Amino acid sequence: MNNRSPRVTVVIPTYNQADFLRLCLRSIIDQSESDWEAIVINNFSDDDTENVVSSFNDDRITLINFRNHGVIAASRNQGIKQARADWIAFLDSDDIWHPDKLDRCFAEIDETVDVIAHPLNMQRDGRTVNVYPAGPLEKTIYRELLFEGSCLTPSATMVRRTLLDAVDGYSENTDYRTAEDYELWLKLAQAGARFKILDTPLTDYRIHDTSASRSVTVHRDATLKIVSDHYSALKDRQAEDEARLTKRNALIYYGAARAFMKTGNEL
């Protein structure tokens, strides 16, 4: 690997997803923008992960074995720490990018943009079953994120490195596990990050039985905790804030209930 900084660092946490990771890395290699580095943060997988990475024989791809003790935020922070680029792109190892993902994002980035995001396709067995939207832009304001919920996803978001450093990256609070990305968006918005939202899906999110987002109870409780912590620290509260908080919490429970119904699990 040369010493010149690439245009973007792609941070990929993974654990026992060798087959998914192969397609994930192929989607990066197939990018029309070739000035990137990818850092795979491997939580000591016991499958074929290391062989998958080495099989590409691409010096733009680095494998780091790092034990995160069940906290994926720690893996992402390790990738940020090792990154050489001014822009950090997040990609889960079971997701894939469209070939023009990086080109489309960089075409819209200028000195007024700190975070750029886009929708993603929710796919099951290679078929798009839903499109997860990004934004709209007015929902990236701190108070709107807090009271209306997350409007971004990691595999469809790129962040300027200086902003990640300014907010100390992802929180590794175990109470936030599975919702740590939402807490990062809140911190970035609170720090004054300038967002830009594209309207075209450029990532495919592959739904499968081991998806972390299927841990409905954990995700519900993590989101409730994040909202509670940020609301407790909220300055200059407005008259309607208490009512908005009550509605926000109710919608978190409602969303979890719908997820339980879809998975056939019980509360």
> Which ranges of the chain would DSSP assign to H, the alpha helix?
18-29, 49-55, 72-82, 101-106, 142-148, 161-166, 180-190, 216-232, 241-263
What would the pLDDT profile of 184-198 be if each residue is shown by its tens digit? Answer: 999 999 999 999 999
Q: Which two tokens stand for residue 110?
A: 């200028």
Q: Which two tokens stand for residue 90?
A: 């997040």
Residue 263: its pLDDT value, please?
A: 66
Residue 259: its pLDDT value, please?
A: 85
What would the pLDDT profile of 160-177 be if each residue is shown by its tens digit? Answer: 999 999 999 999 999 999
What whole-number distance in Å separates Cα of residue 157 and Cα of residue 71?
A: 20
Q: Which two tokens stand for residue 93?
A: 């190892």
Work out whether the CA dihedral 194, 197, 201, 207 comes out positive or negative.
Answer: positive
Residue 55: its pLDDT value, please?
A: 98
Closest CA to 181 of 26, 68, 77: 77
Tokens 């994002």 belong to residue? 105
What would the pLDDT profile of 139-168 be if each residue is shown by its tens digit? Answer: 999 999 999 999 999 999 999 999 999 999
Residue 134: its pLDDT value, please?
A: 97
Closest CA to 8 of 45, 26, 30, 34: 34
What whole-number distance in Å separates Cα of residue 122 and Cα of residue 55?
A: 28
Tokens 């989607």 belong to residue? 27
Burial of 205-227, coded b for 16+ CB within 10 Å and e otherwise, reads bbeeeeeeebebeebbbbbbbbb
Mean pLDDT across 30-38: 98
Residue 1: its pLDDT value, please?
A: 47
Q: Are strands 8-14 and 87-90 parallel, antiparallel or unpaired?
A: parallel
Work out whether the CA dihedral 125, 130, 135, 140 comes out positive or negative.
Answer: negative
What whole-number distance in Å separates Cα of residue 156 and Cα of residue 104?
A: 12
What would the pLDDT profile of 203-252 be if each residue is shown by its tens digit? Answer: 999 887 655 445 899 999 999 999 999 999 999 999 999 999 999 999 99
- Average model confidence (pLDDT) across the chain: 94
Question: Which phi and psi (to 5°) does residue 106 adopt?
Answer: -65, -25
